[in-house]
Amino acid sequence: MDQLIALAFIALLVFFVVKVGSVLWRIAGVLFLLFIIYMYKDQVISQVQSFIANPDFGGLWQNVSGFFGNLFDKVAGFVSTVIK
């Protein structure tokens, strides 16, 4: 589940970096994206290797549907924490 949230965050970060107009924000976004990829590379590699060794599409579908089911709650919790 955390990997899916990280992927969604990276996708939003890439979208923000592309849409923002300032060059400094683009550089900061690219550097942050590289940092996130560097931090999670071991986890991603281990997850991909375990999926290749034992593909479980039913479990994958359940994780994806659970992710989209809980995404709104996590985003709402994050926003409420930031606002407080």
Q: Can you give the pLDDT at residue 9?
A: 75
pLDDT tens by residue, the chain, 84 residues: 566 777 777 777 777 777 776 777 778 777 877 887 787 788 778 877 887 888 777 777 777 777 667 776 777 777 777 776
CA distance 55 to 13: 29
Q: Can you give the pLDDT at residue 3?
A: 65
Tell how far CA 5 is from the center of its chain.
Answer: 4
Three-class DSSP labels, 19-71: HCCCHHHHHHHHHHHHHHHHHHHHHHHHHHHHHHHCCCHHHHHHHHHHHHHHH
Question: 26 near 10, Cβ under 8 Å?
Answer: no
pTM more than 0.85:
no
Q: Can you give the pLDDT at residue 38?
A: 82
Q: Can you give the pLDDT at residue 21?
A: 66
